Homo-oligomer: A and B are copies of this chain.
Amino acid sequence: MPKPIHPLAQALNADLAAGGCVISSLLSRKGLRAFFPFQGILGQSAEARQTKINATIGTAFEEDGSPLCMECLEGMVQAPPTAFLYAPSSGIPALREQWSAMLARKNPSLAGQMHSLPVVTHALTHGLFLAGQLFLDPNEKLILPDLYWDNYELIFEESCGARLKTFKTFRGRHFNVKGLERLVLAAGDKKVVLLNFPNNPTGYTATEAEALAIRDVLLRAAQAGKRLVVILDDAYFGLAYEKGVFRESLFALLANLHPNLLAVKLDGPTKEDYVWGLRVGFVTYGIKGGTAAHYKALEAKSAGVVRATISSGSNLGQQMLVQAYAHPDYAVQKAAKFATLEARYRRIRRILREHPEYRESFKAMPFNSGYFMCVKPLGVEAEPVRQRLLAGYQTGTIVLAGLLRLAFSSVPLEQLDTLFANLHDAIRNLKATP
């Protein structure tokens, strides 16, 4: 017999159902059970914060009240020694506020829209896992395009027990909005969707027209009475290199679209601020008609999953980001890094333009953003091409779903011509002597 649902979780569920809001009906069984233990050690510690003698805290302090840390570790970082104490499970407040303000600047259409405060996760993966725990029951379907980051399988299928239900990513040179539409309008009241722009592996972001079409499809589904969770993996946000690409997160279009649609935005500095190993990310919720109480309850459930899986994120990582986001050179440095990636993107575009003969050996899949682009070898399978490139050309690529993924994020400008020449040659070679 499972335990009855904890009274704190029941209270959150009631909050989420208040005003006829659909959120509680979108939660998985684990999501319904999730709560943050405000009454336990954490709540009691909070109550004691102002006391003179505070014997509540499971960290250690020196006789003078400063954190009891080893000098050899403190000396390695430019951060207050409080960076070695625990961060709150939901993240340090300054960073959450900062990220929220940055969301507003990066997504002007969010202006005046209400959404939750971001809750800190251990980067994107943990945010995806958290969303899976809260919204997907075992064997429930997660709708997504068929070109996706392979770790989705471990996260959603192996760990949450859900099933991926894919539609073809592209229709010709465009995002396959029809494919999405067919699946969200199929039988079944609850639909959980995952969209990832800029996409890993393709490096594709929906155009402005496609973004609006996606919004319209989801709106129609919501209007038809479907209840939707739309998870947005915005890992590569901001890295768009072409005009006409939708520059904001889909969250800006979905967070206040319809009372039947909960938008779940997952993002973080990992890719866009180039701090992969720092492991900080965010989850932010938006739903039309969502109240402060709804968002507080979603934040509490999210913090509960954080507490149950990792207790809290890296405080040092969070403190470093707070400092970086306030640094006078942050914007300039970020622009310089972006320019490095963009220059590689432009070079690839030029290479493809200047070498029409490459079209005999591979097709470039649509790409306009992010760290990657993909090619489809013509007349041969992708895996032998990868092997041939490794063995004969000292060139490393990734095979995913029959495509070769090329990470231009990690290839210097001057190697790009050779990369594509090698690719062309390896494929011709393979066709000649399989």
Contact = CB atoms under 8 A, between A and B. Distances in A.
Interface of A: 1-3, 6, 30, 33-35, 37, 40-41, 44-45, 47-65, 67-73, 75-79, 83-87, 122-126, 129, 133, 138-139, 150-151, 153-155, 157-159, 161, 163, 200, 271, 273-279, 304-305, 307-317, 320, 323-324, 327, 329-330, 333-334, 337, 340-341, 371-372, 386, 390, 393-400, 405-415, 418-419, 422
A372 B58 contact: yes
Given A40-B151, A77-B77, A84-B276, 17 more contacts: A2-B138, A33-B158, A41-B151, A41-B398, A44-B396, A53-B396, A55-B406, A58-B271, A60-B337, A60-B409, A60-B410, A73-B275, A73-B324, A76-B79, A155-B308, A277-B316, A314-B316
Contacts of A313: 279
B410 A56 contact: yes
Contact of A333 (B2, B53, B71, B334): B71
Contacts of A414: 63
Contacts of A273: 70, 73
Contact of A337 (B37, B45, B70, B125): B70
Nearest to A333: B70
A45 B76 contact: no
Contact of A53 (B30, B52, B419): B419
20 contacts: A2-B139, A3-B163, A30-B159, A34-B158, A52-B415, A59-B410, A60-B274, A70-B333, A70-B334, A72-B330, A76-B324, A85-B277, A125-B311, A133-B159, A151-B307, A154-B304, A155-B308, A158-B304, A309-B310, A314-B314
A411 B54 contact: yes
B278 A84 contact: yes
Nearest to A129: B309
A68 B159 CA distance: 32
Given A78-B77, A310-B125, A409-B57, A52 B394 contact: yes
B139 A1 contact: yes
B129 A308 contact: yes
Given A2-B161, A55-B396, A122-B122, A274 B84 contact: yes
Nearest to A305: B159
Given A41-B398, A57-B410, A274-B84, A390 B310 contact: no
Nearest to A5: B158
A55 B312 contact: no
Contacts of A67: 274
A328 to B, nearest CB: 9
A72 B41 contact: no
Given A63-B340, A73-B275, A309-B126, A58 B3 contact: no
A391 B382 CA distance: 70
Contacts of A397: 44, 48, 55-56
B58 A371 contact: yes
A276 B85 contact: yes
